[in-house]
Amino acid sequence: MSEVNQTNQDESTSKVEVIMPSAIVDIKMSTGYYQKVQAIVAFLVKGKTNEEMQSAHTQIKEQNITEDWVNHYETILILCREFETRAGEQGFIQAVTLDEAKKLMGEAED
């Protein structure tokens, strides 16, 4: 029994690093990484019906999320929106044709 108490005591006095809940961390993200985040969005919605997507957007809009996947979907959408906002503020967004966009994203058929 003293061995269990010793273990509990060690756990309560040992220290771990945590990010403070009030922290707002400024990180840089490349477009390549952003594309990976967009792939997560596509993965989350893959196979979802129009009705499921409409329900998800309603849940997010009303902040009454009842499905786990919708909670994660909202989190990723917030990250995407923040990246897009910052990209615009920093002058990294330009209007291009669909063909030009495909070439920029490496999706063009040569």
Per-residue pLDDT of the chain (110 residues; tens, 9 = 90+): 555 555 566 677 899 999 999 999 999 999 999 999 999 999 999 999 999 999 999 999 999 999 999 999 999 999 999 999 999 999 999 999 999 988 888 766 65
Q: Is the pTM of this model over 0.85?
A: no
CA dist., res. 84 & res. 81, Å (int)? 5
Q: Is 74 helix (H, G, I), strand (E, B) or coil?
A: helix
Cβ proximity of 70 and 56 under 8 Å: yes
